[in-house]
Structure 1
């Protein structure tokens, strides 16, 4: 069973905390701080179980990044969990509409995150 997760977040502190939490639970984790970097990783590695996508990033935000992934045949089926500080009900809907499979708001509840990840692994 593949347990490889790609974290895309422009805040190194979020990456650090998520990576530590997920690695402690046996997940292989790759990280990047920009959507373009994520695309480059995904072009060479198709074997991710889940992508954790921060929705508020500079240059290409998470909404656009999810759209691009969903329109790229080789990687369009990788489950994406939107991770965002935007916690209003319409924000969840917006994430799902662009193609995210699930949504977790910041600050992250680790139990909720793990439950979301395990749905896809």
Structure 2
């Protein structure tokens, strides 16, 4: 069973915390600190089942990275769960409309995230 998760976030503390929680639940995690690195890792690692994508990052943000994934045949079927500190009205819809299959706001509710991961892994 492929259970690798790619965590994309420009804050290493968020990557560290998410990785610790997910590894404790039996998932394997890879991480990238931006959209460009995420695309490179996805092209190199065919075992990634789900991407947890921070939406607000310098350089290529989550919206741009999801657009790039949707244009790339090998990557467009990989589900992306948006993980963002933006929790304003309309943010969830914007993420879903941009191609995310799910949305989790920070601080992350681990049960909610685990439930979403169970659907897509």
Instruction: Name the TM-score, length of structure 2 as normaliser.
Output: 0.97
In structure 1, distance between residues paired with 2:5 and 2:26: 11
Aligned to 2:56: 56
Aligned to 2:77: 77
What secondary structure sits across from 1:107 in the alignment?
coil
Structure 1 unaligned spans of 5+? none
After superposition, the CA RMSD in angstroms is 0.7
Aligned to 1:10: 10
Structure 2 unaligned spans of 5+? none
In structure 2, distance between residues paired with 1:71 and 1:96: 17
For the Cα contact (< 8 Å) 1:46–1:75, is it kept in 2? no
In structure 2, distance between residues paired with 1:77 and 1:70: 8
- Deviation by residue 1:20-75 (Cα, 9 ceiling, x = unmatched): 00001110100010111111111111221100000000011111111111111001
Q: Post-superposition shift, 1:93?
A: 0.4
Q: Post-superposition shift, 1:88?
A: 1.9
4+ long deviations beyond 2 Å: none
Instruction: Name the TM-score, length of structure 1 as normaliser.
Output: 0.97
In structure 1, distance between residues paired with 2:46 and 2:26: 19
What secondary structure sits across from 1:51 in the alignment?
strand
Q: Post-superposition shift, 1:89?
A: 3.2
Counting matched residue pairs gives 121
Q: Post-superposition shift, 1:81?
A: 0.1
In structure 2, distance between residues paired with 1:56 and 1:11: 10
